[in-house]
Amino acid sequence: MRKLFTVIILIVAISTPFFAFDVLPVIGDPDSAPNSHVSDHYIEHAVEECNSPNMVTAVIVDYRAFDTMFETTVMFLAGVSVVLLLAGRPKRRLISPSAVKKRGRTVRGKAVYETVNKDVMISLIEPLILIYAVYVLFHGEVSLGGGFQAGALIGMTYLLDVMVGKRQRPIFNLSKFRSAALAGVGPFIYALTGLISVFAGGMYLEYNRLPLPVHQAELHSIGITAVEIGVTIGVAGTIITIINALMERISFDDDND
């Protein structure tokens, strides 16, 4: 019964895009909306309309903010599904203990965290990456980067931290469920930013209507930054969730040796 249900959901999910193909414009059609006027409008008006010198950021989180919101949600769902798949103790080992011994893993090399200079990693490299992540986040409108990159950098810091420290005592103490909740907070902040402008009388995610006492042009910057913070938290939470689930599964495997 459950399998039948899964198959029905899969068929619906896979066949829906094929029906949607008819609605989409033909690739390379010169009369389609992106090729005739939309791209030109973005290129000519992005800076004055969104107050953001980086046009990529303007398109992603301002013109197409609704699209990006569901992208962030999809990422949150990916993290949750990894937790659901990998949670708990595995029923069957992927590799037998004798095969581990034959591979000579214990003899051939040290564990990763014993081969790295912890002081340099924890006191020098990780703070530098975190500072760079914050710079990329708040400077994303002007130069390269934005929420996705900043979140990935924060996730990378956690990955380095897990690799360097002993697995029993990581520096950020985040359980996998807590980090999955963190991944959900990101899309929530994003959606809340949209709702604020609805309550102020505008449309969803219309940054012009944010109820703040600043100049009209500043509102777009503030809206973009708020949304980017949400994206950052979502991406960082998703990466941390995936790493946590994987490391927990691997430590189960090691315990059985």
Partner 1 sequence: MILEAVLLLGLIGITLAIIFGTDLMVAVVIYCAFSFLTMFLYIVMGAPDVAFTEAVIGVISTVIFIILLRSIDRKIK
Q: Is 116 in the site for partner 1 (CB under 8 A)?
A: no
Residue from 68, 72, 73, 149 that binds partner 1 (CB under 8 A)?
149
CB distance 198 to 191 below 8 Å:
no
Residue from 144, 192, 198, 212 that binds partner 1 (CB under 8 A)?
144
| Distance, CA of 4 to CA of 131 (rounded, Å) | 50
Q: What would the 3-class secondary structure string for 201-238 be?
A: CCCCCCHHHCCCCCCHHHHHHHHHHHHHHHHHHHHHHH
Tokens 């809340």 correspond to 192
Q: Which is nearer to partner 1, 159 or 222 (CB)?
A: 159
| Distance, CA of 178 to CA of 150 (rounded, Å) | 20
Interaction mask 168-207, partner 1, x per CB under 8 A = ----------------------------------------
Q: Is 68 in the site for partner 1 (CB under 8 A)?
A: no
- Positions in 77-106 near partner 1 (CB under 8 A): 94-95, 99, 103, 105
Buried-exposed string 110-138: b where 16+ CB fall within 10 A, e elsewhere? eeeeeebeeeebbeeebeeeeeebeebbe
User: Quick one: tokens of 218?
Assistant: 């500043």
Residue from 79, 145, 223, 237 that binds partner 1 (CB under 8 A)?
145
Residue from 137, 210, 226, 242 that binds partner 1 (CB under 8 A)?
242
Q: Is 223 in the site for partner 1 (CB under 8 A)?
A: no
| Distance, CA of 134 to CA of 147 (rounded, Å) | 10
CA distances from 202 to 58, 133, 198 (A): 19, 32, 5
Choices 65-73, 182-190, 214-222, 248-256; region in contact with partner 1 by CB under 8 A: 248-256
Q: Is 146 in the site for partner 1 (CB under 8 A)?
A: yes
CB distance 134 to 150 below 8 Å:
yes
**H or E segment at 166?**
none
Interaction mask 150-169, partner 1, x per CB under 8 A = --xx-xx--x---x------
CB distance 76 to 184 below 8 Å:
yes
**H or E segment at 129?**
helix 126-138
Q: How far is the CB of 58 from partner 1 (least distance, A)?
A: 12
Q: Is 148 in the site for partner 1 (CB under 8 A)?
A: yes
Q: How far is the CB of 250 from partner 1 (least distance, A)?
A: 6
Q: How far is the CB of 79 from partner 1 (least distance, A)?
A: 13
Q: Which is nearer to partner 1, 163 or 185 (CB)?
A: 163
What does the binding site for partner 1 look like in residue numbers (CB under 8 A)?
54, 56, 94-95, 99, 103, 105, 144-146, 148-149, 152-153, 155-156, 159, 163, 239, 242-243, 246-247, 249-250, 253-254
